[in-house]
Amino acid sequence: MLSGFLIIALASNQIAKSFQKIRLPLITGLIFTGIISGPHIIGLIPISAKDNLQFINEIALAFIAFAAGAELYLKELRSRFKSIKWNTFGQLVVTFVVGSIAVYFCADYIPYMREMSTAAKISVSTITAAIFVARSPASAIAVINELRAKGPFVQTVMGVTVVKDFLVIILFSICLAVGESLIAGEDFKLLSIVHIIVELALSFGIGFYAFGQLLKFVLSLKIIRPGKTVLVLLVGFSSYLLSHAVKDLTLEYFNHGIHMEPLLMSILASFFVTNYTKYRAEFINILEHTATPIYIAFFTYTGATLAINVIGSVIGVALILFAIRIITMIMGAYTGGILAGDPMKQNHLGWMPYVTQAGVGLGLATVIADTFPGWGDEFATVIIAVIVINQFLGPPLFKWAIYQLGEDRTKAQTPEFDGIRDAIIFGFESQSVALANQLRENGWEVQIATKLQQGSIDEPEGISITYGIKDFSKEEFDLMNADKTEAIVTMLSDEENLKICDTAYHHFGTRDVIVRLNHRYNYDKFLALDAKVVDPSTAMVSLLDHFVRSPQATSLLLGMEKGQDSRDVEILNPDIHGLTLRDLRLPGDVIILSIMRGGQSIITHGYTRLRLRDIVTVVGSIKSLEEVQFKFDN
């Protein structure tokens, strides 16, 4: 069953990519594929998979909790504390209180509540409203990662999502403890609250200290990253194993099972590593590299295990509860946003990130089904129907909100070539000046951007200098005409280089961004921004290696052969579009090495057809290269 599921998950990833073409999130496609493959439609994933593959769900949920806790980096969130606090208040308190009241007054339209006593109706209403508050951190993180979103809105959303899911577990536990007594017609027992406090205290202490230290130990090991990744996943999975074991043992010996919440323990362990150890960068690096396969498995599994066969029978009640939840979330968004002083545009969209529900909501519904055998199954069926609706509508709404607020980091369209090859070099030093002079000798227009103030340096002759760069914002790039720039070179710290690459990627779609790397662990972050990375620690060894193995080619590509050079030329001449290489009339000493098309390198032969916007790498004499440049440009 496991091997079959993995094959379906791989196919799910490919199918889900087609959803991105219509601007739907990847996870919507994964869930859809899971539903189609599940037991209620095609049946490729049998109904028994829910139990047999539960360990996949638990590993994924623990990983998602790690990713959520890693977002709570206190130094970065300090400026957003006020917004997070009040938006959490709006989404938790307002949604819960108003939702409880609304569900109570709609009880006569909900079959399983219709014949209940007043006390029982109040209890079920509060339990339902508590589940309304539950959110899906996995969905939020998946959408944010897909869009590479960043900004105050996204920071607030992640802070509220993690804090709210922490608090909703406490809220639900209290509502359930009170409800068990009132629904059974018994007096409320104070001992139930004591049990809840003990369970939460154990979850907090073991998660923060025990699992936090265990994660720290794993990250301190001197082993390769795949090995650490496996150990990190096992640490997360062990939180579920510990929770199950403690519940079974306490139930056996004390007739009352103590339930430690594994999601809470995992979030706290991640929070500890992120804020109180030196391994934050490495931990985040592991999470980023592992996220894609985890999300593919989790959302495919979620789709396959959704009981969509019950939706038709409870759709009316589900739509009533769905409407109540949306209305209360909108009220909570405006309440929290206004109290926090957030921009009104952000308040208008502030409810959209919290629509999606998944693991936590499903888990809480299952608890009710197990606790109240009489009406619990019908309750869980309705809640599952609501969650299915939320799961389909939530991700597209969140994605649309991010687009509307301009916090997505998808690559901008590469600018059209204006006939002049421009380059911007960030950082003033001897290497940047030497590079600028060499580019100018090859016909490039070059400017150097520096944080230094005018008058503090001796200006090199013939090179334009832009002084006083502060935050590498779009406005500063506009002043340097970055929209007409073919290449950007960054020679500052990795943190500053990442800001430059992010702005160039998101706002300008610069064709070539070259980064001088400072620390190896940032390598993949630059690759994610389509940057070309030069690592000084290995560049010299690589260069010497190429000189030893292929001295002639290396000399040629480095421009060390007298009268010879190499050049990348973009096809802009419409007359060349569609021609094969064998039909081109090029100087006899010119060789075409490769073609780059749509970010992919093409192995060339005589019958390879050229396309507009292809980037062709050619080698030959300087005079011949000028002829090729002229031919391809016009």
Radius of gyration of the chain (CA): 29
Residue with tokens 């940047």: 432
Note whether 139 and 356 are within 8 A (CB).
yes
Q: What percent of the chain has pLDDT over 90?
A: 2
Q: Which one has a higher pLDDT value, 143 or 499?
A: 499
Q: Any residues with CB less than 8 A from the CB of 569 and at least 6 apart, and which?
A: 615, 616, 617, 618, 625, 628, 629, 632, 633
Note whether 218 and 230 are within 8 A (CB).
no
Q: Which one has a higher pLDDT value, 633 or 118?
A: 118
Question: What is the model's pTM?
Answer: 0.58
For 563-633, CATH gives 3.30.70.1450
Q: Which run of H or of E encompasses 158?
A: helix 152-183
Topology of 2-404 in CATH? Answer: Na+/H+ antiporter like fold (1.20.1530)
For the stretch 105-121, pLDDT in tens is 888 888 878 777 788 88
Closest CA to 443 of 425, 461, 423: 423
For the stretch 390-433, pLDDT in tens is 877 888 888 888 888 877 766 667 777 666 788 899 988 888 88
pLDDT at 187 over 60: no
If pLDDT is split at 50, 70 and 90, which confidence band does 634 have?
Answer: low
- 449 forms beta bridges with 426, 466
- What are the strands of the beta sheet with 564-570, ordered from one edge? 564-570, 615-621, 591-597, 600-602
pLDDT at 166 over 80: no
Q: Which run of H or of E encompasses 434?
A: helix 430-441
Hey, is 513 helix, strand or coil?
strand
Q: Domain map of the chain by residue range?
A: 2-404, 422-540, 563-633
For 422-540, CATH gives 3.40.50.720
Q: Where are the beta strands (DSSP E) in 464-511?
A: 464-466, 487-490
pLDDT for position 217:
92
Note whether 58 and 324 are within 8 A (CB).
no
If pLDDT is split at 50, 70 and 90, which confidence band does 308 have?
Answer: low
Q: What is the mean pLDDT of residues 505-516?
A: 84
pLDDT for position 561:
61
Q: What is the mean pLDDT of residues 594-620?
A: 79
Closest CA to 613 of 413, 472, 386: 413
pLDDT at 186 over 60: no
DSSP for 374-415, please give it: TTHHHHHHHHHHHHHHHHHHHHHHHHHHHHHTT---PPPPPP
For the stretch 19-39, pLDDT in tens is 766 666 677 777 788 888 877
pLDDT at 302 over 80: no
pLDDT for position 367:
66
If pLDDT is split at 50, 70 and 90, which confidence band does 231 have?
Answer: very high
Between CA 103 and CA 112, with CA 108 as vertex, the angle to 5 degrees is 80
- 609 forms beta bridges with 580
Q: What average pLDDT is seen over the chain?
A: 80
Q: Dihedral sign for Cα 219, 220, 226, 232, please.
A: negative
